[in-house]
Amino acid sequence: MPRLPFPADTEAFPPETRETVRYIQETRGSLPPPSTYLAYAGEVGKKLADLAGYLRYKTSLTDAETELAICAAARAMNADFIWSAHVKLGLAAGTREQAIHAVDTFGPLDGLTADEALIIRYSRELLEEKQVRDETFEAVRARWGESGAMELTAVMSVYLMNATILRAMDHRAAADARHLTPRAS
- Domain regions of the chain by residue span: 15-57, 63-168
Which of 83, 93, 97 is CA-nearest to residue 177? 83
Which of 47, 62, 141 is CA-nearest to residue 96? 62
Residue 184 in this model has a pLDDT that exceeds 90: no
Architecture of domain 63-168: Up-down Bundle (1.20)
Share of the chain above pLDDT 90, in %: 97
Asked if residue 23 lies in contact with residue 9, where contact means CB atoms within 8 angstroms, the answer is no
Is the C-alpha dihedral spanning 18, 89, 165, 146 positive or negative? negative
pLDDT averaged over every residue in the chain:
96
pLDDT tens digits for 25-66?
A: 999 999 999 999 999 999 999 999 999 999 999 999 999 999
Average of per-residue pLDDT across 140-167: 98
**pLDDT band at 142; cut points 50, 70, 90:** very high
pLDDT tens digits for 66-89?
A: 999 999 999 999 999 999 999 999
